[in-house]
């Protein structure tokens, strides 16, 4: 019960602070509201795009497809599928552990599991927000580096796990 009300209590306290600032220092209050509205105006369209991309990736993310095809593919196709699945995966990473353990039991190499885990850090749905804050050049370089690093990490994990 306490956890449910904590959000409302926080909102109420923030409103009280804003009202107090509005009464005590009207200029700071207006400046704060204007900043808030301009930030919302900049971010809201991107958040709608992020939401749309999340819905699309969730709709097309099919665990059965990856389970069936990861066993079938070899070489570069397996790297692409592993990294691609990591890119579009949704939800907390620990929820993927049972499926990844199943992959490992079926003979999928540890390098592909490590590449999947590393590439989950890149979320296509959040790329527009990343571009807004850091620019497109930085975003592209970061994604390319992370994809190649996921491959390197997969190879390192497999080599170290053989020891």
pLDDT in tens, 27-44: 988 998 899 899 888 888
Q: Kindly state whether residues 115 and 152 are assigned to the same domain.
A: yes
pLDDT in tens, 63-118: 666 666 666 667 788 888 888 888 877 777 888 888 888 888 877 889 989 999 99
Residue 55 lies in a domain: no
Residue 51 lies in a domain: no
Q: Kindly state whether residues 27 and 72 are assigned to the same domain.
A: no
Compute the distance between CA of residue 107 and CA of residue 72 in angstroms, rounded to an integer.
11
Q: Kindly state whether residues 40 and 117 are assigned to the same domain.
A: no
CA angle 87, 46, 91 (to 5 degrees): 35
Residue 53 lies in a domain: no
Q: Is 0.85 surpassed by the pTM of this model?
A: no
Tokens in use for 117? 């885990």
> Residue 41's domain spans which residues?
1-46
Q: Kindly state whether residues 23 and 83 are assigned to the same domain.
A: no
Cβ-based burial of 131 (10 A; exposed 0-12, middle 13-18, buried ≥19): middle
Q: Kindly state whether residues 76 and 28 are assigned to the same domain.
A: no
């Amino acid at each position: 019960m306490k956890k449910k009300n904590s959000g409302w209590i926080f909102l109420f306290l923030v409103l009280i602070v804003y009202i107090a600032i509005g009464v005590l220092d009207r200029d700071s209050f207006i400046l704060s509201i204007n900043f808030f509205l301009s930030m919302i105006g900049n971010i809201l369209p991107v958040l709608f795009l992020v939401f749309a991309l999340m819905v699309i990736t969730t709709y097309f993310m099919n665990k059965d497809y990856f389970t069936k095809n990861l066993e079938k593919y070899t070489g570069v196709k397996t790297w692409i599928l592993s990294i691609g699945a990591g890119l579009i995966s949704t939800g907390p990473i620990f929820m993927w552990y049972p499926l990844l353990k199943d992959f490992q039991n079926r003979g999928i190499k540890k390098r592909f599991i490590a590449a999947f885990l590393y590439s989950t850090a890149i979320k296509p749905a959040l790329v527009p927000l990343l571009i807004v804050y850091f620019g497109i050049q930085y975003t592209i370089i970061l994604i390319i580096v992370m994809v190649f690093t996921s491959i390197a990490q997969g190879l390192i994990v497999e080599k170290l796990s053989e020891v």
